Amino acid sequence: MAMNQQKQFFQLQLIFLALSFFILLFIFPVGGKIDMYFIQPWMDSTGHFFNRDNWYLVRVNHEIVKQIITTVYVIFLFLWIASFKVEKLKLYRWQYGYMFFVSMIGSGVVGLLKSQSAHACPWNMVHPTALSYVWDFTATHGHCFPGGHASAGFILMTGFFVYRLEQPKRAYFYLIAGIILGFLMGWGQMMRGAHFLSHNLWTGWVVWAVNILFYKICIHRFEFEKRIKQELA
């Protein structure tokens, strides 16, 4: 029964990834109508992003929130290292390590894609004219897709996979927290003109895809860890 449930879970995830891929590709194209609709409210008549240097968006959303999330991962790394010495933590070593390393891989993949991307940031694509402004979609500043900052929030979704089999409530906490923080952090950057909405949606997709891949590879270890804890209970 458990094997069938896992098989069904991964089948549904593959369908979700495929459907969402094409939805993002064709309904949310980078710089498309939806991107334009959501980013224009944050521009003035000359094309200037008036929130670019907003203290809250720069200091709180872009710096402090990211620092808090980074602290969470430092704690997971510390717990993983400590589990080699502290007997009480040994039973959770796999969870601590998986949470830290897979999250870092997810963030790293987003960073790698961004470093190789030719897509420019919105604030580098707008040029003022005598009466208004124009968008330059040939801008080659690049390195702005997918959204790197949003990945700091989205990688918390890794916790869903870590605790899915053993602690469903905690798993869904990480899932919901990751989605909310990823969108909020990405939205803040969009308000500054750093990213389009599509940039951040693709970030969420990439992070989820990376998690599905590693969870598929490691699912038997998660099932083993669950059995061990049940036997020791």
Q: How far is CA 222 from the centre of its chain?
A: 22
Query: Per the structure block, which two tokens stand in for 77?
Result: 């790394």
pLDDT at 78: 99
Q: Which residues contact 61 (CB under 8 A, 6 or more apart)?
A: 184, 185, 188, 189
DSSP one-letter code for 59: I
pLDDT at 211: 99
Kindly give the parts of the chain with pLDDT less than 50.
1
pLDDT at 1: 46
pTM: 0.95
Distances in whole angstroms, Cα of residue 32 to Cα of each of 44, 181, 191: 19, 24, 17
Omega within 30 of 0 (cis) for the link into 29? no
The residue ranges of every structural domain in the chain are 55-232
pLDDT at 130: 82
DSSP, residue by residue, 135-188 = E-TT-------S-HHHHHHHGGGHHHHHHTTT-HHHHHHHHHHHHHHHHHHHHH
Q: Are 195 and 121 in contact, with CB atoms under 8 Å apart?
A: yes
Distances in whole angstroms, Cα of residue 146 to Cα of each of 50, 94, 162: 23, 30, 25
